């Protein structure tokens, strides 16, 4: 395996143990200064290389970079932008996207695409969808991630059971999960996460359902497909094939999987390097099992530009450098982020030679479902997470949960 110099990036950015730094010394606001903001200092080598390339073209422009912990990032960013002193270029994620577009804090980057000679056809479709509104792109994609099926070969070998592959479906997960579960050793056959991105955001579309309608005005939670998917997840916990929701709170699934206590676990593609460092050649990975159809949730980070600076060509140049192929190539070689440029994604598949990552790229292209976002995303996600947690903790039925979610979500989606 290639030396993964960015292992800490995986640990900190994924697990939420995010480190802040003060950035460079703050310079006065003038025409020769550009301010950049993001939430993880561990990408500093990549950002610095991008700035170095930018300064070769613009040697008189100073770039200030500020890293802020994720828990404080959005408050600080919004306060700055509202007050007119926010950064010129900054990281954007899916859940906050609509809020910033609808409030006029970021504008589209269509001109930047032309300036950079970038075709939308060359970018991962699900990422384009995630950061687009009214057919306009509002962020320059930086990297993407999807959900894969990781497994522990040693647990399979001990039972002489063939490894998972692309023929597996929900029934196979349940069947083999029972065989691999060994209560005497504290081993579970499957890890059914009660979180959204690694859990039900995949199972609901796999079962033919949807989180919300394409026009983002109606919840899909109270449909038979969504109910059936959530009940299947809960069934895996109730039957002891997966750790229960309470057990997952006490011991996170990544800890259980890494310590050899879970045989099969759906998790983000960005965890590949971290898990390989822990399990070595005992780690295997393949695409998610299919339900009525295939689906894997795709998310990613983009670089957004302050709406007040949208027409500044020098700022556009820096945004294009930060999000460009050279920067994405560095992330891919580290085994972390999947490039959003389609012609560079093979770099990521070769980053961990011992793992066959190529099928994951094909799955993302063919089965990718954009992480669901809309206006007021955080409002309906809170309702969603609270009610599903209650269901998975046995405090209410799945049907009771989804009715509450759908009712409140529909109100949130349709309010002005």
Q: What is the structure's pLDDT at 14?
A: 46
Averaged pLDDT, 224-246: 98
φ/ψ (deg, to 5) at 286 = -150, -175
Same domain, 72 and 191: no
Domain limits for position 60: 7-145+299-370
pLDDT in tens, 304-347: 999 998 778 999 999 999 999 999 999 899 877 899 999 999 99
In-domain check, residue 15: yes
Averaged pLDDT, 16-21: 32
In-domain check, residue 210: yes
Confidence of residue 5 (pLDDT cuts 50, 70, 90): very low
Q: Coil, helix or strand for 41?
A: helix
Domain count, the chain: 2
Query: Are the CB atoms for 369 and 17 separated by under 8 Å?
Result: no
Give the contacts of 275 (CB within 8 A, at least 6 positions apart). 150, 257, 258, 267, 283
pTM: 0.88
What 101-108 contacts at long range (C-beta under 8 Å, 24+ apart), as own/partner pairs, is 101/133, 101/138, 102/375, 104/307, 105/78, 105/81, 105/306, 105/307, 106/138, 106/139, 106/304, 106/305, 106/306, 106/307, 106/310, 107/138, 107/305, 107/307, 107/310, 108/136, 108/137, 108/138
- CATH number for the domain harbouring residue 96: 3.40.190.10
pLDDT in tens, 369-399: 999 999 999 999 999 999 999 999 999 999 9
Same domain, 116 and 33: yes
Q: What is the structure's pLDDT at 309?
A: 87
Q: What is the structure's pLDDT at 22?
A: 33
In-domain check, residue 91: yes
Q: How far apart are CA 276 and CA 254, in angstroms?
A: 12
**Lowest model confidence (mean pLDDT) among 30-39, 166-175, 238-247, 262-271:** 30-39
Query: Are the CB atoms for 126 and 116 separated by under 8 Å?
Result: no
Confidence of residue 31 (pLDDT cuts 50, 70, 90): low
Confidence of residue 18 (pLDDT cuts 50, 70, 90): very low
Same domain, 178 and 281: yes
Same domain, 205 and 126: no
In-domain check, residue 231: yes
| Average pLDDT of the chain to the nearest whole number | 91
Give the contacts of 2 (CB within 8 A, at least 6 positions apart). 333, 335, 351, 352, 353
Is the predicted pLDDT of residue 261 greater than 60, yes or no? yes
**Lowest model confidence (mean pLDDT) among 107-111, 160-164, 201-205, 208-212:** 107-111
């Amino acid at each position: 395996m290639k030396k993964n110099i960015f292992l800490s990036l995986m640990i900190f950015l994924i697990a939420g143990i995010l480190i802040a730094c003060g950035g460079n010394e703050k310079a006065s606001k003038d025409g020769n200064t550009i301010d950049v903001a993001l939430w993880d200092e561990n990408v500093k080598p990549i950002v610095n290389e991008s700035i170095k390339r930018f300064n070769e073209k613009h040697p008189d422009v100073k770039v200030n970079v500020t890293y802020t912990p994720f828990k404080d990032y959005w408050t600080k960013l919004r306060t700055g932008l509202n007050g007119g002193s926010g950064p010129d270029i900054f990281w954007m994620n899916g859940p906050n996207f609509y809020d910033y577009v609808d409030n006029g804090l970021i504008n589209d980057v269509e001109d930047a695409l032309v300036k950079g000679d970038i075709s939308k056809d060359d970018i991962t479709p699900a990422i384009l969808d995630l950061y687009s509104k009214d057919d306009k792109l509002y962020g320059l994609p930086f990297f993407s991630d999807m959900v894969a099926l990781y497994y522990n070969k040693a647990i399979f070998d001990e039972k002489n059971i063939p490894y998972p592959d692309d023929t597996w479906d929900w029934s196979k997960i349940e069947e083999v999960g029972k065989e691999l579960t060994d209560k005497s050793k504290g081993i579970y056959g499957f890890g059914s996460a009660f979180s959204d991105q690694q859990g039900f955001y995949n199972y609901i579309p796999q079962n033919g359902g949807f989180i919300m309608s394409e026009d983002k005005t109606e919840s899909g939670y109270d449909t038979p497909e969504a109910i059936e998917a959530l009940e299947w997840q809960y069934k895996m916990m109730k039957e002891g094939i997966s750790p229960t929701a309470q057990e997952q709170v006490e011991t996170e699934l990544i800890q259980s999987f890494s310590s050899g206590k879970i045989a099969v676990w759906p998790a983000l593609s960005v965890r590949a390097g971290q898990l390989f460092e822990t399990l070595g050649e005992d780690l295997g990975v393949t695409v998610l099992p299919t339900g009525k159809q295939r689906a894997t949730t795709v998310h990613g980070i983009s670089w957004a530009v302050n709406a007040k600076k949208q027409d500044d060509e020098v700022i556009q140049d820096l945004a294009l450098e930060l999000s460009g192929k050279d920067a994405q190539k560095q992330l891919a070689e580290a085994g972390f982020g999947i490039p959003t440029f389609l012609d560079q994604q093979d770099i990521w598949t070769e980053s961990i030679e011992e793992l066959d990552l190529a099928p994951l790229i094909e799955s993302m292209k063919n089965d990718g479902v954009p992480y669901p976002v809309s206006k007021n995303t955080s409002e309906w996600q809170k309702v969603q997470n609270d009610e599903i947690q209650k269901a998975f903790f046995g405090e209410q039925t799945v049907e009771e949960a989804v009715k509450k979610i759908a009712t409140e979500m529909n109100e949130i989606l349709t309010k002005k």
